[in-house]
């Protein structure tokens, strides 16, 4: 059986093995696949594995042998599910593999905005401490998080883990689910005027696209810090850049942007007080190894006729 991985280097740039997939058949791994090469590379393949390589209706219509698409990620918007279903193709994803790593990144971004470790490390390496007349100095204000209000938007597994971390830091957590609320939870509009920090962990839907926009930002506390480890389009990036320049937002830390890789004209690229990482919350080696293991389990379940993590 032919198994083709279309963008292998995203999850495995060479520090891991595909051996767990090789037990099911011949594995052909391409580091990267351009849209125009998808059909030719999948010719005769029964199983395709993708991270971000798209499966449009046109592509799916051109692959009569394909029976399974395994998305090597939690998000599966890269596959036209309706087209896949119409051809009897099973589509699966890998949920929850990066819960701890993503929460860790959200905390890292928040702590960087609060402690300015990178700025001060650069200053020390430039010799500023050697030249200092005082035993300490700071080039940018630091913020103590204990006692601050943090609104966590999206109370799934990642949001819940972020809650535990923030409570350990002494913060007051305001839970803001993106769907049904319980008695101890809030609507976003309830917390805008009191939240010192807003961290986003909700899925990207029609309701959450541009969730953070100029109108919402205008209702926030002056100097609010915002973290986005959800999806880039949850935040209107032009509105965020404007709010950063005006000082309304004192810092924006994100691991995701609206179009990835980043474009030259992205408004956040040159905005002040931004802390941007290139969608790597999921990238610790341990996390990626777990991703591959679950991917293999998904394939095994499919071959046994009992698909798991099916999204169509």
Catalytic site residues? 231, 260, 279
Helices 99-115 and 285-303, packing angle to 10 deg: 160
CA–CA separation, 276 and 235 (whole Å): 14
* Both tokens assigned to 283: 């990238």
- Whether a cis peptide bond, with omega within 30° of 0, leads into 261 is yes
* Burial label, 311 (beta-carbon count in 10 A; 0-12, 13-18, 19+): middle
CA–CA separation, 201 and 157 (whole Å): 9
Q: If you search the block for the tokens 């995203």, which residue do you land on?
A: 10
* Both tokens assigned to 122: 């650069």
Q: If you search the block for the tokens 């393949």, which residue do you land on?
A: 45
Helices 157-168 and 99-115, packing angle to 10 deg: 40
Count each helix (H run) and each strand (E run) in the chain, helices first: 13, 11
* Side-by-side strand order, sheet with 68-71: 26-29, 2-5, 47-50, 68-71, 90-92
């Amino acid at each position: 059986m032919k198994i083709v991985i279309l963008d292998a280097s995203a999850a495995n740039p060479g520090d891991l093995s595909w051996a767990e997939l090789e037990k099911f058949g011949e594995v052909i791994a391409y580091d990267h696949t351009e849209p125009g090469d998808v059909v030719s590379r999948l010719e005769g393949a029964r199983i395709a594995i993708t991270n971000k390589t798209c499966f449009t209706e046109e592509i799916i219509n051109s692959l009569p042998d394909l029976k399974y698409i395994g998305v090597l990620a939690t998000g599966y918007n890269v596959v036209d599910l309706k087209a896949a279903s119409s051809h009897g193709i099973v589509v699966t994803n890998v949920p929850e593999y990066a819960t701890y790593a993503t929460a860790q990144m959200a905390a890292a971004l928040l702590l960087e905005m609060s402690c300015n470790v990178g700025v001060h490390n650069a200053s020390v390496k430039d010799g500023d401490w050697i030249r200092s007349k005082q035993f300490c100095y700071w080039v940018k204000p630091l913020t103590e998080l204990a006692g601050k209000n943090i609104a966590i938007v999206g109370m799934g597994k990642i949001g819940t883990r972020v809650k535990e971390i923030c409570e350990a830091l002494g913060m007051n957590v305001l839970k803001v689910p993106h769907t049904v609320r319980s008695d101890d939870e809030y609507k976003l509009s309830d917390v805008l005027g009191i939240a010192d920090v807003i961290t986003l962990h909700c899925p990207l839907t029609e309701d959450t696209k541009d969730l953070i926009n100029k109108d919402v930002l205008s209702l926030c506390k002056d100097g609010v810090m915002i973290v986005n480890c959800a999806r880039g389009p949850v935040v209107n990036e032009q509105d965020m850049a404007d709010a950063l320049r005006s000082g309304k937002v004192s810092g924006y830390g994100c691991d995701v942007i609206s179009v990835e890789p980043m474009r030259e004209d992205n408004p956040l690229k040159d905005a002040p007080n931004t802390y941007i990482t290139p969608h790597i919350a999921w990238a610790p080696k341990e996390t990626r190894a777990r991703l591959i293991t679950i991917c293999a389990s998904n394939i095994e379940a499919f071959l046994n006729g009992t698909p798991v993590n099916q999204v169509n």
